[in-house]
Structure 1
Amino acid sequence: MSQLEFMDWFTWVLLNSRVNVCRMFVCAIWAIWTSRSQWIHEGRKKFGAETEKLIKQYIHDLIELDRKSLALSPNSDRWRPPQQEFFKINFDAAFDIKENRSCSGIIVKNFKGDILAFNTTVYENIPSLFAAEAIAYLLAITVGKDLGIMHVVIEGDSLTVDTYLLELDMAQVKLLRRLVGVEWWQPPGGYCLKINFDADFHSSSKTSCAGVVIRNRYGIVLGSHIVVYKHIPSTFVALPTTCLHAVRLGLALGFSYVIVEGDSLTVLRKVQSSRPDPPILGAYIQDIKCRVGCFRKCDFQHVLRVGNTVADLLAKEGLKVGIGSYMCEGVLDFVKRAVECDCLSNFSSLWRRLYALVGIATVSLCAC
């Protein structure tokens, strides 16, 4: 069976099976792949009974998580008006899995129940129901902002999106001091090298592209790599795949002290977490964790998108052209300007800090 035939069969199984069967099927594949990775990279071999226990425990945890999610907010059988001076924006989404198309519905009402506005928008190339619901959620926020509403209640029946946003907020709070907050690209300190990574994804062709760039403390590019991947199911898989490639590239080039940096907070959080990873991402995250131990020191750092421009441009151009490339001690011409801007922004940041330091010193001297 070829890889394409396997993907067609796998897709057919998921589309024609009940939710609990799909959950069992995917969890089993994830557990088997995790056991395989532990055997290859760590030398730990699991018996079938252990793998079976892991699958049952994980499914049990998922069921408990669903129950807790349902208990987060009590369900209301009917629409209830908001408090006075508030507006309520209800949203929902419909998704056509065969056409990869969704439609978002938005309606805005005041505390009297009067309809102030409504909106329906059709979207193409939507990969999943979760993405459709998230887009509808975003549209509700956008409509409220465009209408100039100051006090708003956004309401929907998608507990999945609400739970995901809650987990993301908790992750940002936990990692605020360690990861979040770096705006511009900053050079590494000492003998460390910084490896920036990013990914771009095309849902129709199920193709992703990884962009990786390596720089030293002077901002000099030591290498850049573009890799095109086929049969990638979603952007949630494209990002950990790219992070894994960045780690593997650092090892292949013989680096000992590295900082792996990207703008995907979800991937960086999971790489540094000791909790079990979800089935789809688990194999990639586990591979990353295993390979990190081969460095003398490897830190993961989050940067905002504006500070990850070079890797982002590499990924976008590679996906557009459909061809990978590797350059040693340099980058392609279309990203040279972005590399220069990173160096200039770092210089400007240093200049601002020095200026502030001079100002503080001047005030101190005047006080004396």
Structure 2
Amino acid sequence: MNWSLYSYSATLIAIVTSVIVAIVRWFHLCHPYDQNPDYFYPSRRFVTGYFFAVLLLTPYLFHWDSPDTWLFTRCFYIIYIPSFGAVALQNYFFIDIRRRIIHYCAIGLIPSILFLPLFILACIGDNYLEDYYTLVSVTAVIVSLLVLTDLTFITTNLFKRIKDFLYGEYSNEDDFPIHFAKGVVFLPLSLWTLSFIVFIADNETVLACLNIILSVVSVGILIFILHPHRTECHSIENTMAKTINNSQGSQSEKLEDIDNIQSNVEMTETMLNQIEKQIRKAVEGQRLFLDSRFKREDLARCIGTNRTYLSIVFRKRFSSFYSYINTLRIEYSIHYQEEHPEANNLEIAIASGFGSVRSYLRIKMLFESREL
């Protein structure tokens, strides 16, 4: 049985699939989202670029029997996958602009230094690297581990954020795509493990299996990330508003449950006034609301009280923790915009403590309609 033919076919499938996914990702702009693609498709450019990068495997289709081409193919995935994963997770789930720039430079530049000469030799399809096979392999592993370290750090932070979302009450919790995060948090690490198995096995059959798996995963990711953009703009706004209302209702129910459990706890007006004053002094005086990760547990720790007392105070003196914090953020954003008229929505959102531009615009809409 000619396993090289299977490897060739699987590689061709992977390349064609990636190109199709890249094209669909780039041109799929539903109306009215096409009026503002940078906002509705913030990851569109780099995702398209990474999928097109699989075209670098094309030399294998023409020189599948070349040692230099095979070496490049072995090294490609162990660097490409963690690089793609690190940039994708950082760009989608975290808003630190400076860190994004570092990723685009470091995670893109370092692999390119190794890939460029290897790609040229792979296109030639000879055996010029015969005496440097081990050196190139070790270098590729080192680069892969460096990128993997960054990917592991991001994955750990994302996993922690998922746990925090599940067990904590966040003022920005509706922003976080929990189901998507749970589905992809360990995907890059898993795919890197498979790619490293291919590297160690040095076997075309194993490479064929990896290419088929990556083709299926690519199509699955494409379907998953395109799904939210298939509704009309006004439908999304209505859905967002309903989601927020449901979230607030869910939070209110949780607070009521706590109050029912703690029904024997009584607070005098003096206690209510004192804690309310402490809340306003901490949140408004110290501007804690500008922290996008600020949650009720942090507030309880800051003013030296417990969650039960906070629940009672917020129920009696404020509409809700969520509404109180985001109202302060919107009011701050209005003043910030007046002082910085040249600021765009992203800058305003970050400066005002929102987790994303989408959250800022969504809360702003509710604030202006007096539904917050």
TM interval, short-chain normalised: under 0.3
* Structure in which a larger fraction of residues adopt strand: 1
Higher RCO (Cα < 8 Å, 6 or more apart): 2
* Structure in which a larger fraction of residues adopt helix: 2
With structure 2 as the length reference, what TM-score do the two structures score? Answer: 0.20
